Amino acid sequence: MIVGDLKPLEEIVSAIKEYKQILVLGCGSCVTVCLSGGEKEAAQLCHELSKIKHYGGPPPKLEMGCILRQCEEDLVREYQELPEGTDAILSLACGAGVQTVADAHDPLPVIPALNTTFLGASAKPGIWAEMCRGCGDCVLTFTGGICPVARCAKSLFNGPCGGSQNGSCEVGLDTPCAWAMIYYRLKRQNKLHLLDEIRGPKDWRPGGAGGPRKRIRLGLGDGSK
């Protein structure tokens, strides 16, 4: 699931203050679940942004909306109405949603209210931790289901570094060492031999360094975008 955090209020205010009428648009999927950008957060943000104290003069007119997913252009075009006179959208979606809404309503300015951070999972309620970097060449088969790319601070592939102490990463005591976790998981699986196998260097090309990636599934629409 995509996780994001609300931007500092001052940053949002400075981005929106030049506009007269703004649609504050929440997203009903990932950012709702991680309590960053859903309908409630959009309403709260609307309420806060309407306070005169943030602006030199009168605040912009704010309207609130929320749609199930902002990351599908046809859905947004068809089912998200723009109130008459809207001159900008403040989107609480992840970066994918912000950009899709911007494409759908080009050239209307669409401003992000969130900093999209990572692909995460929730082991405990209220806590979302980074799990996946979308590297495009998953090695979880060999690491007992624990990702060394996302969960090792150095994305090491050959075991822990010298900074690993008592199962913690040198980054901080509350960050577990991914390789310690991998070792103990493989031990519980009786698969420590996987650590002895030599594997070639990882191909990082599917990982995004070569430009924005695409998935095309033929047979649905014309697959042109």
Partner 1 sequence: MSYFRVNKNCNGCLSCVENCPASALTYKDQENRRTLLHNMTKCARCGQCWRVCPQEAIEFQHLLVGQWDDVVTMDLIRCQVCGEPLYSPAYQQKVFDAVNIDGEPLCPLHRQRRAAPKWPLHISR
Q: Which residues of 71-82 are buried (b: 16+ CB within 10 A; e: fewer)?
A: bbbeebeeebeb
Q: Does residue 125 belong to the site contacting partner 1 (CB under 8 A)? A: yes
Q: Does residue 91 belong to the site contacting partner 1 (CB under 8 A)? A: no
Cα–Cα distance for residue pair 4/119, rounded to 1 Å: 9
Among 9, 33, 82, 194, binds partner 1 (CB under 8 A): 33
Cα–Cα distance for residue pair 37/117, rounded to 1 Å: 13
Q: Does residue 121 belong to the site contacting partner 1 (CB under 8 A)? A: no
Q: Does residue 32 belong to the site contacting partner 1 (CB under 8 A)? A: yes
Q: Does residue 199 belong to the site contacting partner 1 (CB under 8 A)? A: no
Please list the alpha-helical segments (H only) found in the chain. 9-16, 30-33, 39-49, 73-79, 95-104, 148-151, 178-188
| Min CB(38)–partner 1 separation in Å | 5
Neighbours of 163 (CB within 10 A): 12
Contact between 49 and 13 under an 8 Å Cβ cutoff? The reply is yes
Among 17, 19, 28, 175, binds partner 1 (CB under 8 A): 28
Q: By C-beta, is 39 or 73 nearer to partner 1?
A: 39
Binding mask 35-54 for partner 1 (x = CB under 8 A): x--xxx--------------
| Min CB(125)–partner 1 separation in Å | 5
Contact between 7 and 113 under an 8 Å Cβ cutoff? The reply is yes
The site for partner 1, by CB under 8 A, has a size of 10
Per CB under 8 A, residues contacting partner 1 are: 28-29, 32-33, 35, 38-40, 68, 125
